[in-house]
Homo-oligomer: A and B are copies of this chain.
Amino acid sequence: MRRYRLALALLTCAIALPVSFSAISAPAPAKAKPLTTQQIIDAAPATAWRELDPNDTLYMDVPGGRVVIELAPQFAPQHVANIRTLAREHWFDGLSINRSQDDFVVQWGDPNAGEKNAKPLGEARTHLPAEFSVAAKGLHFHRLKDIDGYAAKVGFVDGFPVGEDAHGGRAWLAHCYGTVGAGRDMAPDSSTGAELYVVTGQAPRQLDLNITTVGRVVKGMEWLSTIPRGTGPLGFFEKPEQRVPIASIRLAADVPVSERTPLQVLRTDTPTWDAVAESRRNRRDDWYVHPAGHIDLCNVPIPTRVPPATPAASPPAQP
């Protein structure tokens, strides 16, 4: 098999050359062989990586495997607090994924929510304010230079894709592939975090500023994105047996260290990150004949890795 067909489309390089939309022909050859995205990542200093905070990390165990979600308390503090409470109560355990709509979302929670036999939320709050956006002031906003149709400015805050208005007044966690949000009813303040969804298709940015986003899947998207689509309206499963069971949802802090998923995420506020973004904005490996000159906020996957092994401690000196 020619395994490199199209495959090489993913190998990317980092040189900044401006490219106009009308420049269809191949660009002039670069003077030096630029680094690929992978080479940039491999060369990143240890400080370019970060650990997830166990208090902001959810493990969702489903039949395929573990989904790791990073929560965003800086964007939805009250929802995140409620989700932590629900996880600590083991509230989600035994509930299910109830909806899978192609090119949109997968959604989970209590299939009986809103009905007489709904599962009580326990210590969690049953009413929260809408948290659709936050004050931009004080956020560590690392901007992408690229234009965006949905927000005046886009970039990243602490590893989350973010939109910001023209005046820097408000900011919000944008709906990209993997973004997790809190389902709501008609009332903007009707979400509690007990019903969650994840984006599994083209970024539905029309949801931005219309619903509370609470985090992002950093690992294990494939266990959610491949769930067979529901055949009911909006992708809900028509039969209870089609629902996908949730074994458990836990805060990483509540899981023994030995059972946690070792994971580091590339920081989104470093020169390494800027080089990664540029290497995807203008692909310069030999496969490409036309660097795009643009990158979409939702088209910059954030690399993760298993933490490198730390050097074994020296054996204690003989007494």
Contact = CB atoms under 8 A, between A and B. Distances in A.
Given A210-B287, A227-B226, A204 B5 contact: no
B151 A149 contact: no
Contact of A209 (B115, B206, B225, B289): B289
- Which of A1, A8, A112, A167 has the largest number of chain B CB atoms within 10 A? A1
A110 interface: yes
Contacts of A209: 24, 289-290
Interface in A203-228: 203-211, 221-222, 225-228
Interface size band for A: 35 or more
Interface in A165-201: 165-167, 169-170, 176-178, 181, 183-186, 188, 191, 195, 197, 201
Interface in A1-49: 1-10, 20-22, 24
Interface stretch (A121-129, A264-272, A296-304): A296-304
Given A6-B181, A148-B149, 10 more contacts: A1-B113, A1-B236, A5-B183, A22-B165, A22-B167, A24-B165, A102-B225, A202-B202, A225-B226, A225-B229
